Amino acid sequence: MIYNTQRAITEMYSMSPNTGKLLTDEETIERFRTSKEWGLLTSVDLRQCDPEKIRSKETIAQFSIDLCEYIDMKRFGEPIVVRFGADPRVQGYSLAQLIETSMISGHFAEDTDRAFIDVFSCKEYPPKKVAEYCAKYFGAKDVEYSVSFRT
């Protein structure tokens, strides 16, 4: 069977502190609406988190429920929180929370007290507020986030 390997590749608009000025939450939502974007992805990197919080299955599950309420996303089922990782560098809990408009996921790295959280939705939400909420919830001393529009 022969497959067509020629595909159109287009650049995705992403913004982070490393690529330039982030849009405000209001500017992000306005662009999302006026450009008729299909989805919005916010990737949040947390450093120096409270070790007890990122090692607690119950805290991570409750975070998922609370975040959905905070950004007005309707959960689809209960959060899935599983601890795994043979390599101590990546060992920790991972989170999957389906939402009606897509998914919230995360990984909590115990070795470095870091958390990596992604919120993807075809419904708009405020990315900066999400990043700040995540940082406060897990007691992070440092937070960085990036935003991508999915077309």
Give the N- to C-terminal CA distance of the chain in Å, as an integer. Answer: 30
- pLDDT (tens place) for every residue of the chain, 151 residues total: 444 445 444 444 555 555 667 889 999 899 899 988 899 999 999 999 999 999 999 999 999 999 999 999 999 999 999 999 888 888 999 999 999 999 999 999 999 999 999 999 999 999 999 999 999 999 999 999 999 998 8
CB-based contacts of 3, cutoff 8 Å, min separation 6? none
Domains of the chain (ranges; CATH) run 23-150 (3.60.90.10)
Q: How far apart are CA 110 and CA 92, in angstroms?
A: 5
Contact 45, 143 (CB under 8 A): yes
